[in-house]
Structure 1
Amino acid sequence: MRLLIMGPPGAGKGTHAGALASLVRGPHISTGDLFRDNIARGTELGRLAEKYIAAGEYVPDAVTDDMVRDRLGQPDAARAFVLDGYPRTHAQVATLDALLEARGTAVDGVVELIVPDDELVSRILRRSAVSGRSDDTEDVVRHRLAVYGDQTAPLLETYGERGLRHSVDGTGSPEEVRRRVERAVASASGAGA
């Protein structure tokens, strides 16, 4: 099963994508993790990505598309995956559709985590204090939420029109949210997706 997990920054995508990946027996592919790895290793992609991430902006589509294309082409992602952080724009939806179509597959479902903005800001600032992530200042967080609302949230409508969107309340304990996510995935697979 090929799933997307979507939601604003701080919604818990990374937390729940790992469990989802185990459930569908495929890798959790996080663009954020891939960017951070490249930044830590000082690669050219990492240096380019870092300046956008530090400003709370999206890394340009062409860079992200190439990275995702390469990762989805690896053998462990052939039958199942959970994609976290991609697509973020309508152009990336088209790129992902074309990439999967060329392989005779498609996205099977989209799990959307819904969390109120005030809780998102609080979560991200707590995470920043624990992990020391320099990209998680309050100004950058609020900007990232605005960018998400303008550029990525509209993609959920596209997936909803395709019958792929499964909205999940992302508030509560991680165990409560995990159970809701699992029910959404069961619904997606039960729908013949």
Structure 2
Amino acid sequence: MRDVLLLFGMQGSGKGTQAERVKENFGYTDISIGKLLRDKAKEDPSISEFQKSGELVPDEIVEKLVEEKIESLADGEKILFDGFPRLKTQLDMYKRLAEKYGFNTLAILIDIPEEEAVKRIGTRYTCSQCEKIGFKPGKCEKCGSEMVRREDDTEGAVRERIGIFKRDTAPLTEYFKEKGELAIVDGVGSFDEVTERIFKAIDKHYQK
């Protein structure tokens, strides 16, 4: 069995910040589908073509990349999936991977109201290099690069992305709920308060 953590939450829920804290505290290795595809695109022109055209990379290619990454990890190494699964087809893929590799899954939904998400994103900055999130201009605390406002962080664009999350991703949590693998965490409050709730949910699940 391999412990696997999935973090769900609409944009503005603080998911990225909480993922970093979980990795540091519990020793998870993160698998980012986006990073796997970006790295593969450097050596495989066909991946670049999909990305340039705006088309989704076929699921079979994504699944193969994820399998290769999992098989490169040490036995028992814990995984935190970043941005996966997001769609129904990716949930089907996750089920196959979970069965093949013996995942002990916990899915955490960081739950915040839509208006809170819009408010947070309206005040956030993103590092131009490492993409760390912050809430003031200046230099990135992590790498020293410039903190900037994303062009697509307008209220209209944010609400559109939240709508996509509600339509495509949020329903996936029902699968994990039915299996007793879902914890819903209140995402309103300070980052430290939310972190404490997430840590408690992880401890509770894996101490069963």
Task: Classify 1:66/1:141 alpha carbon distance in 2 versus 1 (closer, same or farther; 3 Å).
Answer: farther
Once residues 150 and 36 of structure 2 are traced to their aligned partners in structure 1, the CA distance between those partners, rounded to angstroms, is: 15
Once residues 43 and 134 of structure 1 are traced to their aligned partners in structure 2, the CA distance between those partners, rounded to angstroms, is: 29
- Aligned pairs for 1:80-95 within 5 A: 80-95=78-93
Where does the alignment leave 5 or more consecutive residues of structure 1 unmatched? 53-57
- Aligned pairs for 1:68-107 within 5 A: 68-75=66-73, 79-103=77-101, 105-107=102-104
Is 1:143 matched with 2:145? no
Partner of 1:55: none
Partner of 1:12: 14
Is 1:125 matched with 2:160? no
Describe the superposition over 1:131-165 as per-residue Cα deviations: whole angstroms up to 9, x where unpaired: 33334333221111111101111011110000000
Is 1:27 matched with 2:29? yes
Partner of 2:193: 176
Is 1:115 matched with 2:112? yes
4+ residue segments displaced more than 6 Å? none
Describe the superposition over 1:28-75 as per-residue Cα deviations: whole angstroms up to 9, x where unpaired: 23345556x66xx798546644765xxxxx945626444433433331
RMSD, aligned CA: 3.0
* Structure with max Cα Rg: 2
Q: CA deviation at 1:10?
A: 1.7
Question: Number of aligned pairs?
Answer: 184
Q: 1:167 aligns with which of 164, 184, 198?
A: 184
Partner of 2:174: 157
Higher share of residues assigned strand: 2
Residue identity over aligned pairs, in percent, reads: 28
Q: CA deviation at 1:183?
A: 0.5
Q: Secondary structure in 1 aligned to 2:123?
A: helix
Q: Secondary structure in 2 aligned to 1:108?
A: strand
Q: Secondary structure in 2 aligned to 1:10?
A: coil
Once residues 99 and 185 of structure 1 are traced to their aligned partners in structure 2, the CA distance between those partners, rounded to angstroms, is: 21
* Range 172-181 or range 63-72, more displaced: 63-72
Q: TM-score, normalised by structure 1?
A: 0.79
Q: TM-score, normalised by structure 2?
A: 0.74
